[in-house]
Structure 1
Amino acid sequence: TNMERTSSIRRKAMARQHKGEVMIAGEQLRLRLHDGKLIKDRRYHLRTYPNCFVAQELIDWLVSHKEAPDRATAACLMQHLMDHDIIHHVCDKRPVFKDAKLLYRFRKDDGTFPFSTEVKIFMRGQRLYEQLIADKNSILQLREEHGVAYQRSFPGCQLIDWLLQNAEAESRRRGLELCRTLQEHGIIQHVAKKHDFFDSGLLYQFCINFRRRRRLSALLNESEQEEDEGVAVSTPEDTHPESPFVLRKSRPQEGNSAFQSVESSKDLKQVTSGRRGSLNSLQLHSAGFPPLAQSSTSVARCNPKSVLRRTVTCEELLAPGAPFLKKVLTVIGDALGWGFVVRGVAPCYVQAVDPGSPAAVAGVKVRQFVCQVNGQCVLYLDYRTVSRLVMTGTRTVVLEVMEPLE
């Protein structure tokens, strides 16, 4: 019956939303652990394992930071992250999380995170949300439908207009398909949950507030979870100083443009005085995004000539047995950005890497060709689009690159 179908769709959407909440909570935890230096390269039996944490140390940290009331609950939380493919044992042999001196790793830190269709849609929704929130004249506003006011809501037709203006959809039909997919995956919904998505004046909201700080303990409590998920309004936790999704703005000094996700005024001073020369093309401008022409001319001044030894086509990169090595690299942006410059069109390549930057630490090198950004194929895109994908995503960027063997 229709009612059964509706409740089944709702159950699926709730499950997807919960998966989304786990992903965000896991990502927020991962960034905090990197900041707290709990994640680092560790030696075990004459072998070095990069970007690991020790289970026992993490449990200590969760309890001392009041993320869990006791060690048993903390272990349950980590098991939950393990079941959702967020973390794994470094050798992938242990399906059960143990409070012991064992090494575990976040799948995002070693490129084994499974970018399923569902995850890609979720990440697309998150990226769109971040762009819409950052937009100076955002379509997300307090609006009224049938006498009820809804925060951060938007008419369906305006979202499709925005998708077209920002090259996120090539036609209204494609825009409508994307919005319906986002609705099916529990990312957006009609404000009163009465309608499917239409290219009309009906009001919709994001069901997930991507910027809200997640409490890990809430992940184990399904009833709390359900109350949480209908909320698309801003909460005070949006601007929690430790939230990795808070983009602070500071006045630009001497034309500095930086990706500012900082946690204290000390960091803010460091941001405004920091420099990465020509590498501003992959850093957020403090008043939005840098005009692309301006960013490419600054790059051209410092890197006038392409670093490529010869022109390479996409077909060449994809040919079986081609002399290229595929690598998956995770770049965690810092207060100054990511620290690399992409150039070219179909395929893009890395033109420059700042020696002390997160990109250099992650293994990004000049002359690498960029194939994927956060699971999305970018082989046939130009450097402006690829730069925008990096800049408008979260602080962590997973790159798939092809490196020439010669």
Structure 2
Amino acid sequence: MERTERNKNRNGTKIKRTGSIHRKVKSRQHKAEVMIAGEQLRLRLHDGKLIKEHRYHLRNYPNCFVAHEVIDWLVSHKEVPNRQVALQLMQHLIDHDIVHHVCDKSPIFKDAKMLYRFRKDDGTFPFNIEVKVFMRGQSLYEHLIGGRDSILQLREEKGVMYERSFPGCQFIDWLLQNGEVPSRRQGLELCRALLEHGIIQHVSLKHNFFDSGLLYKFCINFRRRRRLSELLNENEHDEEGVAPSRQEEGAESPFVLRKNPSAHGNTTFLSIQPSELKAASGARRGSLTNQQVTGSYSHANSLTSGPVVRCNPKSVLRRNVTCEELLSPGAPFIRRVLTVLGDALGWGFVVRGRSPCYVQAVDPSSPAATAGVKVRQFVCQVNGLSVLHLDYRTLRKLVMTGPRTVVLEVMEPID
């Protein structure tokens, strides 16, 4: 009896530790995303000539910007829906030591004629251990992506295919060959630091970093353009204690839609069987939060609150189709290449299933519909990468972490 109680206590402690580690990693990943988004915004403001020398209290301040001008810019460039959200976003950058008042007198960002500056422009950016690990990870990522024979490839572990993954031992080999570390031991230490700070992870989140054949991948696509409103929404979910992994259920998990009244009337995702897709009236593309949804380039519209409506529509497929059938000569399918340019609300289509994935629903007013994406199409490639043998979760992540323009190769049945 006592042994059973001790085991329960140990299991409870283990679960708490695992949850604590997960929250810590997610927090570090969020900080990394804020740093990337802040740097992307800084460069865009420099290009727009909003960052320049200004005079304040009889003193000239180089490389600074006027608060209300940046708020105007964010609203006019549709980075945010309104000035209030813009204020929250700029405050978010101040809280993360990306931006500060030129005299450090005001920790609050105000929509006024006040001067602020990016800490990277005046050399006051705090280079602590987290920032150093992040910058090292970013440098390694750029080196790997730009290389001709990159070790980031489609690989298999325990029957599951993972895009842009790499074995731990091969990554350390690469670090040694390129002079990134002087010894194998220091390479292992670097990789474990990258994993601890949320830069890389085991493909199924089950292992620490080992110098072995276990597969790992980068958690962050450093080249993807970030939207500040997206980061603010992620932070709100973290504060509410909503772990994204909790939404990832089985392949038949329901759609999750959040009510969001539209000024232009009601819009819903439509399939061939609209009566079976019990979407909430007024749902918007960018409001879909389930892990099955690939149409969520921006999370800005999720800032509005509302009850979550769950439903589990039937598959639109008339029969099950295998990858072998799709690839067999003379199969009754037409191959098409479609280019979908995401807008502020996303791409506007929903995928489902695994090996192969197929289009379950399409928003009729979305970029996906304009590009010719239709229900019952099987997704073969995304931006030139084969996804035929992936499940919907992996396909979704591939789209979400990629560029705004998505090139799909699909196969649709000949009616």
- Interval containing the TM-score (normalised by the shorter chain): 0.5 to 0.7
Indicate the residue corresponding to 2:36 in structure 1: 24
Pairwise CA distance, 1:224: 7.1
Indicate the residue corresponding to 2:376 in structure 1: none
Report the AA paired with residue 134 of structure 2.
F
Report the AA paired with residue 174 of structure 2.
W
Pairwise CA distance, 1:166: 1.0
Pairwise CA distance, 1:46: 2.5
38-47 or 148-157: bigger deviation:
38-47
Report the AA paired with residue 105 of structure 2.
K
Aligned equivalents of 2:31, 2:181: Cα separation in 1: 26
Aligned equivalents of 2:189, 2:56: Cα separation in 1: 50
Say whether 1:116 aligns with 2:147. no
> Highest CA radius of gyration, 1 or 2?
2
Q: Deviations over 1:188-207 (max 9, x none)?
A: 00001111111111110001
Aligned equivalents of 2:151, 2:214: Cα separation in 1: 13
Indicate the residue corresponding to 2:303 in structure 1: none
Pairwise CA distance, 1:44: 2.5
Indicate the residue corresponding to 1:50 in structure 2: 62
Indicate the residue corresponding to 1:77 in structure 2: 89
Pairwise CA distance, 1:45: 3.1
1:99-178 mapped onto 2 (5 Å cutoff): 99-178=111-190
CA contact 1:17–1:187 (8 Å) conserved in 2:
yes
Aligned equivalents of 1:236, 1:173: Cα separation in 2: 41
Q: Deviations over 1:104-128 (max 9, x none)?
A: 0000000000000111011101111
Report the AA paired with residue 139 of structure 1.
I
What stretches of structure 1 of length at least 5 have no aligned partner?
A: 242-406
Pairwise CA distance, 1:227: 5.1
Indicate the residue corresponding to 1:11 in structure 2: 23
Report the AA paired with residue 9 of structure 1.
I
Pairwise CA distance, 1:236: 12
1:276-315 mapped onto 2 (5 Å cutoff): none
Aligned equivalents of 2:19, 2:57: Cα separation in 1: 52
Aligned equivalents of 2:46, 2:296: Cα separation in 1: 24
Indicate the residue corresponding to 2:232 in structure 1: 220
Pairwise CA distance, 1:220: 1.2
What stretches of structure 2 of length at least 5 have no aligned partner?
A: 1-12, 249-290, 298-339, 342-415
Aligned equivalents of 2:227, 2:178: Cα separation in 1: 33
CA contact 1:164–1:175 (8 Å) conserved in 2:
yes
Indicate the residue corresponding to 1:2 in structure 2: 14
Q: Deviations over 1:63-92 (max 9, x none)?
A: 011111000100000000000000000000
Aligned equivalents of 1:189, 1:120: Cα separation in 2: 18
1:32 is paired with a residue whose SS is helix
CA contact 1:180–1:197 (8 Å) conserved in 2:
yes
Report the AA paired with residue 207 of structure 2.
H
Match of 2:221 among 187, 195, 209: 209
Aligned equivalents of 2:244, 2:171: Cα separation in 1: 26
Aligned equivalents of 1:236, 1:140: Cα separation in 2: 25
Indicate the residue corresponding to 1:183 in structure 2: 195
Aligned equivalents of 1:218, 1:182: Cα separation in 2: 24
Could you list the structure 1 runs, at least 4 aligned residues long, displaced by more than 6 angstroms after superposition.
223-226
2:216 is paired with a residue whose SS is strand
Q: Deviations over 1:31-66 (max 9, x none)?
A: 000011110011223321100100000000000111
Aligned equivalents of 1:95, 1:47: Cα separation in 2: 20
Match of 1:87 among 91, 99, 102: 99
Aligned equivalents of 1:224, 1:148: Cα separation in 2: 29
CA contact 1:218–1:224 (8 Å) conserved in 2:
no
1:222-237 mapped onto 2 (5 Å cutoff): 222=234
Q: Deviations over 1:211-240 (max 9, x none)?
A: 111011011112778659x99xxx998xx9
Match of 1:35 among 34, 37, 47: 47
Question: Across the two proteins, how many residue pairs are aligned to each other?
Answer: 236
60-69 or 41-50: bigger deviation:
41-50
Indicate the residue corresponding to 1:96 in structure 2: 108
Aligned equivalents of 1:136, 1:96: Cα separation in 2: 46
1:221 is paired with a residue whose SS is helix
Aligned equivalents of 1:106, 1:40: Cα separation in 2: 11
Q: CA RMSD in A?
A: 2.4
Q: Deviations over 1:270-328 (max 9, x none)?
A: xxxxxxxxxxxxxxxxxxxxxxxxxxxxxxxxxxxxxxxxxxxxxxxxxxxxxxxxxxx
1:309-328 mapped onto 2 (5 Å cutoff): none
Cα distance change, pair 236–169 in 1 and its aligned pair in 2 (3 A): farther
The TM-score with structure 2 as length reference comes to 0.54
Report the AA paired with residue 113 of structure 2.
K
Q: Deviations over 1:337-380 (max 9, x none)?
A: xxxxxxxxxxxxxxxxxxxxxxxxxxxxxxxxxxxxxxxxxxxx
